Amino acid sequence: MKRKRGRPSTTSGVINLPLETKSQDKAKADQLRSVAEGRLKLYEPGSDNSRRFLDLLSRKINRSLATSMVACVHCGLCADSCHYALAKPDDPTMTPVYKADQIRRIFKRHMDWAGRIVPWWVHAQYPADDEDLNRLKNIVFGMCSACRRCTYSCPMGVDTALLVRFARGLLTELGIVPEGVFNVSRDQWETGNQMAVTEEDYLETLEWMRQEVEDELGVPVRIPVDEKDCDFLYTINPREIKFDPRSIANAAKIFHFAGERWTLPRWGWDQTNFGLFSGDDNLGAYVAKNVYEAAVRLRAKRIVISECGHGYRSTRWEGYNWADYDQRIPTESVILTLKRYIEEGRIRVDPSKNGEPVTFHDSCNVARSGGLIEEPRWVLQRVCMDFREMYPNRTDNYCCTGGGGLLSMAEYRPLRLEVAKIKADQLRATGARLVCTMCHNCIDGLTDVIKHYKLDMGIVQVMDLVERALIT
Amino acid sequence: MSGFLRILENEVQLVALLFLVFVYLFRLVWLFKFRSRKERTFPVGKEGRGIARSLMNVAMPWAMESTRKNPGFYVQFVIFHIGVAAAIAASFIIPYWPSLLEIKAVVRLFQVAIAGGLIVGLLRLYRRIAQPRIRLISTPDDYLSLIFMILFFAAAVLAVPNEFKTAEWPLILFFGLTAFLLIFVPFSKISHYLYYPFGRFFFGRTLGHRGISPAKKLSKGKAE
């Protein structure tokens, strides 16, 4: 696509990446159920997408979003908090305020009085065509990981990450999304989990892991599925089934030693939620409700969420609101469960089994948007000999750079890795041999950073370290 | 004092102020027309404490990385807004409590406070023009609002001595600009103070509810 006059150039080239629709065409040809039912939206080049975008904006905006639209004073302080802007200081399009302004200018033209009457006064502008919407897509999907770090640095309380998610949601309704976002959304709509894991694969993997733990311990071990009246319903990330089943084995082993009554559900086990990344509240509600209803169906006393950043945020916090579903039972991260086991003496741990220096990466969705900040540290300090903080940390920590669904969007990878320099420098400065995080997304994001910047580090999750430290 | 200046200091200001209040009420109605979401999750912290802390953020430069990293920017913010408060106060004191300005020290104090705002305004204008990333996001509203504030400060510095017997023009300039700004402000970025409580409220409510800020205590064994 051609660059229009008066638009700033960028060094990244990301802004002008075209819209790819191969997967959408295939979904249409395959007559997928989610497409036929109108849940998974496809791009319609012939329709008036700019008008549809404005209609959606009017319909979906709420008061807190409207406040973030009008409250920005263009002070630019947010630039110092964004890893994109910090890593590319010469590119003025990398600042959070610039990115937010791309949706803000449409809102102002459409809904705000100054922008409607004298648009030039506030640079208010309608999207002229699909090219403009595609450009917006590249900004909100490709140039921001929605880590919310800038929100914490805004004196006015402008929630730029929320604006970015809102814009993503409007574009998702029009099918103007990166291929990766479409594919994962499709899988989650079609199969109930974002990696299209079949029930057969799911149950086979659980059985495989059960056997592994049993062989290791030499005693009968269970990984219960669909058992009623358990103390908790355990929900996992499909990545655990597909790529990291050892984390399920670790959980089973720890729950076994803790004497826990737990179960996984046959349906509604995926706690991840691509609706958070695509901005699609309908998808968010559907996936979250699967989990909540599984807990009701099995009469579980609690929902426990395995280590996953966006899964935790979606299932614990946002999902109930997306689904208009009042929370009825406690819903917690497995980190709280582990903490409770250690506190109550249900498992015993020996920190000397984890002698190497370990640092902790706060997942954005867990810390800044989830509030789990001290709990993982409490656990790590009891299972590691040499725990050291990275700086900045807690709610000031930097994104792994793979957040916001960016790992699924290959076209933005070069930019993502370029701006990951900030994270790489932060990791290197700790001198740690292991970086621990409680998020599968961060595992993949940090793996990329470590490989790209040739850092001498490994990655683990809290559960891995607890399992290693177990006194059996 | 001429009749023109007397009317400008009194009736014109009141009308302009009423206009501002009316437009702001209209604006608040507009904002409240947007739907509000209902929170459906169990809280971990207290929303009220989160909101209070968020609203107090303006007085806690240590609370945000942006102000920790840019202490000079925060000092400028304080000086600028003290200047604004002093200039606004002057627009009421001159017509309604002129005796206060017969005290030379008070006049000097006001002039120093307002001049501080003026200097910061000029620095901010330079920053907006000189820094590419700020220039890119700047609109005519950003530039002109700042320029009008700089002019307002300059006029206020000259008007505060309230020496209408010597020359009325500084007072006419100041009150003319004040009336203009009262009408202009609701349509400009200067209105940000109207939105500040809302922005901080919504953000603080979320952080408070989720136990992020103020940070929740690490409670023993409690499920969420």
pLDDT tens readout for residues A83-123: 999 999 999 999 999 999 999 999 999 999 999 999 999 99
The answer, for B64 touching chain A at a CB cutoff of 8 Å, is: yes
A5 pLDDT band, cuts 50/70/90, is very low
A7 pLDDT band, cuts 50/70/90, is low
pLDDT tens readout for residues B107-140: 999 999 999 999 999 999 999 999 999 999 999 9
B217 pLDDT band, cuts 50/70/90, is confident
Q: What is the pLDDT of residue A2?
A: 44
According to DSSP, residue A385 is labeled: S
The pair of structure tokens assigned to A64 is: 């807190």
- Chain A positions in Cβ-Cβ contact with residue B57 (cut-off 8 Å): 155, 157
A6 pLDDT band, cuts 50/70/90, is very low
Size of interface A-B (CB pairs under 8 A): 178
Cα(A147)–Cα(A167) distance, rounded to whole angstroms? 15
pLDDT at A10 over 60: no
Rounded to a whole number, what is the distance in Å from the CA of A317 to chain B's nearest CA? 6
Share of chain A above pLDDT 90, in %: 97
According to DSSP, residue A270 is labeled: B
pLDDT tens readout for residues A196-233: 999 999 999 999 999 999 999 999 999 999 999 999 99
- Chain B positions in Cβ-Cβ contact with residue A321 (cut-off 8 Å): 37-41
Rounded to a whole number, what is the distance in Å from the CA of B149 to chain A's nearest CA? 14
Cβ neighbors of B75 (< 8 A, separation 6 or more) are none
The answer, for A70 touching chain B at a CB cutoff of 8 Å, is: yes
Q: CB A327 to CB B42 under 8 A?
A: yes
pLDDT at B218 over 90: no
Omega before residue B186 within 30° of 0, cis: no
**DSSP secondary structure string, chain B?**
--HHHHHIIIIIHHHHHHHHHHHHHHHHHHHHTSB-PPP-SPPSS-HHHHHHHHHGGGG-TTSSHHHHH-HHHHHHHHHHHHHHHHHHHHHHHHHH-GGGGGSHHHHHHHHHHHHHHHHHHHHHHHHHHH-HHHHHH--HHHHHHHHHHHHHHHHHHHHTT--TTT-SHHHHHHHHHHHHHHHHGGGSGGGHHHHHHHHHHHHHHHHHHTTTTTTPP--SS---
* Residue in A closest to B206 by C-alpha: A369
* Amino acid, single-letter form, for residue A9: S
Buried b (16+ CB within 10 A) or exposed e, B185-210: bbbbbbbbebbbbbbbbbbbbbbbbb
Measured between its terminal Cα atoms, the distance across chain A in Å is 61
Q: What is the pLDDT of residue B221?
A: 64
3-state secondary structure of A414: helix
Structural domains of chain A, with CATH: 14-177 (1.10.1060), 192-341 (no CATH), 343-469 (3.40.50)
- Supply the mean pLDDT for chain A: 96
pLDDT at A1 over 50: no
A77 pLDDT band, cuts 50/70/90, is very high
pLDDT tens readout for residues B58-115: 999 999 999 999 999 999 999 999 999 999 999 999 999 999 999 999 999 999 999 9
Q: CB A155 to CB B211 under 8 A?
A: no
pLDDT tens readout for residues B26-55: 999 999 999 998 999 999 999 999 999 999
Q: Chain B 157-176, CB below 8 Å of chain A: which residues?
A: none
Q: What is the pLDDT of residue A229?
A: 98
Q: Is the ipTM of this complex over 0.85?
A: yes
> Per this entry, what is the length of chain A?
472
- Chain B positions in Cβ-Cβ contact with residue A94 (cut-off 8 Å): 133
Q: CB B34 to CB A81 under 8 A?
A: no
Question: Which class for A117: exposed (0-12), middle (13-18), buried (19 or more C-beta within 10 A)?
Answer: exposed
Cα(B145)–Cα(B168) distance, rounded to whole angstroms? 26
Cα(B139)–Cα(B151) distance, rounded to whole angstroms? 19
Q: CB B40 to CB A327 under 8 A?
A: yes
CA angle A447, A450, A456 (to 5 degrees): 125
- Chain B positions in Cβ-Cβ contact with residue A77 (cut-off 8 Å): 66-67, 70, 73
The maximal CA–CA distance of chain A, rounded, in angstroms, is: 76
* Residue in A closest to B223 by C-alpha: A330
Structural domains of chain B, with CATH: 3-27+42-209 (1.20.950.20)
The answer, for A320 touching chain B at a CB cutoff of 8 Å, is: yes
The pair of structure tokens assigned to B58 is: 């303006």
- Chain A positions in Cβ-Cβ contact with residue B73 (cut-off 8 Å): 77
pLDDT tens readout for residues A350-389: 999 999 999 999 999 999 999 999 999 999 999 999 999 9
What are the residues facing B69 on neighbouring strands? none
- Chain B positions in Cβ-Cβ contact with residue A157 (cut-off 8 Å): 54, 57, 196, 198-204
Measured between its terminal Cα atoms, the distance across chain B in Å is 69
A41 pLDDT band, cuts 50/70/90, is very high
- Chain B positions in Cβ-Cβ contact with residue A162 (cut-off 8 Å): none
Q: What is the pLDDT of residue B223?
A: 60
pLDDT tens readout for residues A247-278: 999 999 999 999 999 999 999 999 999 999 99
The answer, for A101 touching chain B at a CB cutoff of 8 Å, is: yes
Q: CB A153 to CB B198 under 8 A?
A: no
pLDDT tens readout for residues A422-466: 999 999 999 999 999 999 999 999 999 999 999 999 999 999 999
Share of chain B above pLDDT 90, in %: 95
A195 pLDDT band, cuts 50/70/90, is very high
Q: CB A375 to CB B218 under 8 A?
A: yes
Least trusted range by pLDDT, from A9-23, A179-193, A395-409 = A9-23
β-sheet with A458-460: strand ranges across: A386-388, A357-361, A434-437, A458-460
Q: Chain A 407-466, CB below 8 Å of chain B: which residues?
A: none
Q: What is the pLDDT of residue A12?
A: 61
* Amino acid, single-letter form, for residue A275: G
